[in-house]
């Protein structure tokens, strides 16, 4: 019996964590009737070969910059962003206007806003975009991959990623079976309209399913809700011994531990001020004996060069870096295990515009969102406040499981309150967990993997 060839995209740095290091990939690899080809960025080809290659798994490296910089790729990407009327895509346009206040910039902003309001509500606009993209969006390097591999099916692990989109376009033009997956909880609002509608779509939860139906015209019967495979390990792995773990990270097991997930330098320049506010609160005994572990976002670490550490802060950036571009970072199994241990042993999770809030739900950890800019009074379009008004965030925050603080005093008061009563807002966190995880039973990877196998058999 001839093996079926499944081409799997792995361009976003979180695909290793979300798919390849989970039961999803194990189930696919164990099927002897499958030949798996991983499409990855060229600089990471050797890394993927070393970690994932086997008898039925091969790797092909692709030159990402040249593919996504093609004029047709850029045109359809920009157009797709004008066909979703979301808070995130609005403030990105407003940011560009704020940075260049010229007559041309004002004209461009108002024309784009008018375009969004006129055309985004109509499905016909999205149909025309998709038709044009499939007809005119060809990229020769992607075409060559398909001609050499002859895949029977494409599994696009991130249907909004610029490279995934190009692979999906090629698969659709060749009438190759196409299965897609929404990578993250914000993507349906923040990445523009889905440029290629897959034959089947896998999503994490019912909220994303609703968004895919309403915003991206996906038929409900084509959508499979599988959960979040990357969190399965938390239900079955043994946690590192507390004393051993604290020693490993250079922390004191007798002190309280705050996990701080900063926004990162791309999103904010006041992360260091939040750290300084907490450091002073510790120093002036406004908080009990406390230490803070700062876990930088692997794709956009924060700038703490102005922060003067007195020993109460521990800094780390998880992941393997491949280039000066932080977005090339890959999270290994060791990194994700370390992250789970950090969250598990933290007393409070504090963050700005980060998915660490989702990570902390698996262990029912108290969480605080920073909704102010340190000591500065920034206009809304430059403030971290804009991030927490994003559509996907508002859906979660309304459930009441997160304390949103808007000043230094509110932050210190909230930390102390959670130290004394970790169950504060527990009901809200339970609602958040149900909304985001769908079913946190440690079996999401098996569900998604078996679903993919069932599609392959048809």
Ranges of each domain in the chain: 4-69+132-231+442-457, 80-124, 237-437
> What pLDDT was estimated at residue 1?
65
Q: Which among 416, 446, 411, 41 has a CA at the least distance from the CA of 227?
A: 446
Supply the DSSP symbol for 320: B
> What pLDDT was estimated at residue 298?
74
Please give the full DSSP string across 40-81, using - where no structure is assigned.
Answer: EEGGGHHHHHHHH-BTTEEEEEE-HHHHHTSHHHHHHHHHHH
Please give the full DSSP string across 221-261, using - where no structure is assigned.
Answer: GGEEE---GGGGGGGTSPPPPHHHHHHHHT--TTSEEEEEE
- Dihedral angle, C-alpha 14, 19, 21, 25, nearest 10 °: -150
Residue 293's H or E segment, with its range, is: strand 290-296
> What pLDDT was estimated at residue 89?
98
> What pLDDT was estimated at residue 326?
54
Tokens at 80, concatenated: 């797709």
- Statement: the pTM of the whole predicted model exceeds 0.85: yes
Tokens at 388, concatenated: 């927490």
Beta bridge mates, 343: none
Alpha helices in 326-407, H assignment, sequence order: 333-345, 356-361, 391-397
* Topology alike, domains 4-69+132-231+442-457 and 237-437: yes
Instruction: Please state which architecture CATH assigns to domain 4-69+132-231+442-457.
Output: 3-Layer(aba) Sandwich (3.40)
> What pLDDT was estimated at residue 331?
76
pLDDT in tens, the chain (458 residues): 688 999 999 999 899 999 999 999 999 999 989 999 999 999 999 999 999 999 999 999 999 999 999 999 999 999 999 999 999 999 999 999 999 999 999 999 999 999 999 999 999 999 999 999 999 998 999 999 999 999 999 999 999 999 999 999 999 999 999 999 999 999 999 999 999 999 999 999 999 999 999 999 999 999 999 999 999 988 888 888 999 999 999 999 999 999 999 999 889 999 999 999 999 999 999 999 999 999 987 777 889 999 999 999 999 887 766 765 656 677 788 888 889 999 999 999 999 988 899 999 999 999 999 999 999 999 999 999 999 999 999 999 999 999 999 999 999 999 999 999 999 999 999 999 999 998 899 999 999 999 999 998 87
What CATH class does 237-437 carry?
A: alpha beta
Distance CA 216, CA 319 (A): 33
Cβ contact 385:371 at 8 Å: yes
Tokens at 225, concatenated: 């809700």
> What pLDDT was estimated at residue 122?
97
> What pLDDT was estimated at residue 334?
84
The string over 366-379, giving b where at least 16 C-beta atoms fall within 10 Å of a residue's C-beta and e elsewhere, is bbbbbbbbbeeebe
Please state, as a whole number, how many other Cβ atoms lie within 10 Å of the Cβ of residue 337.
Answer: 15
CA 407 to chain centre: 27
């Amino acid at each position: 019996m001839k093996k079926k060839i499944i081409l799997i995209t792995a361009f976003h740095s979180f695909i290793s964590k979300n798919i390849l290091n989970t039961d999803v990939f194990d189930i696919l690899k164990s099927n002897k009737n499958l030949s798996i080809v991983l499409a990855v960025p060229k600089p990471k080809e050797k890394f993927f070969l070393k970690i994932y290659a086997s008898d039925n798994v091969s790797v092909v490296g692709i030159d990402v910059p040249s593919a996504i910089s093609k004029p047709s790729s850029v045109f359809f990407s920009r157009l797709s962003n004008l066909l979703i009327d979301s808070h995130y895509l609005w403030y990105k346009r407003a940011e560009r206007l704020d940075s260049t206040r010229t007559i041309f910039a004002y004209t461009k902003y108002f024309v784009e806003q008018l375009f969004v309001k006129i055309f985004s509500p109509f499905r016909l606009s999205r149909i025309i975009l998709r038709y044009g993209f499939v007809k005119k969006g060809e990229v020769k390097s992607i075409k060559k991959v398909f001609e050499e591999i002859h895949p029977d099916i494409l599994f696009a692990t991130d249907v909004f990623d610029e490279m995934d989109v190009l692979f999906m376009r090629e698969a659709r033009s060749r009438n190759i079976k196409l299965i897609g997956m929404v990578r993250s909880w914000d993507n349906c609002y923040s990445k523009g309209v889905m440029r290629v509608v897959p034959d089947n779509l896998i999503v994490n939860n019912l909220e994303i399913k609703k968004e895919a139906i309403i915003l991206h015209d996906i038929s409900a019967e084509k959508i499979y809700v599988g959960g979040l495979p990357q969190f399965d390990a938390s239900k079955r792995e043994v946690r590192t011994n507390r004393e051993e773990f604290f020693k490993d990270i250079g922390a004191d097991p007798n002190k309280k531990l705050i996990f701080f997930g900063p926004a990162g330098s791309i999103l904010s320049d006041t992360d260091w001020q939040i750290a300084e506010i907490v450091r002073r609160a510790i120093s002036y005994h406004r908080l009990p004996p406390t230490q803070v572990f700062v876990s930088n976002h692997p794709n956009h670490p924060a700038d703490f060069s102005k922060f003067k550490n007195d020993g109460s802060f521990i800094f780390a950036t998880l992941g393997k870096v491949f280039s000066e571009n932080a977005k090339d970072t890959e999270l290994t199994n060791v990194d994700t295990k370390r992250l789970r241990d950090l969250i598990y042993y933290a007393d409070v999770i504090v963050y700005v515009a980060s998915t660490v809030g989702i990570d902390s739900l698996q262990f029912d950890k108290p969480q605080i969102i920073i909704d102010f800019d340190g000591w500065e009074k920034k206009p809304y379009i430059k403030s971290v406040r804009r991030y927490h008004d994003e559509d996907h965030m508002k859906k979660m925050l309304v459930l009441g499981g997160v304390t949103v603080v808007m000043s230094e005093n509110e932050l210190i008061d909230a930390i102390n309150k959670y130290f004394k009563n970790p169950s504060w807002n527990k009901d809200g966190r339970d609602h958040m967990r149900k909304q985001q995880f769908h079913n946190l039973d440690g079996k999401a990877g098996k569900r998604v993997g078996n679903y993919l196998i069932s599609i392959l058999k048809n």
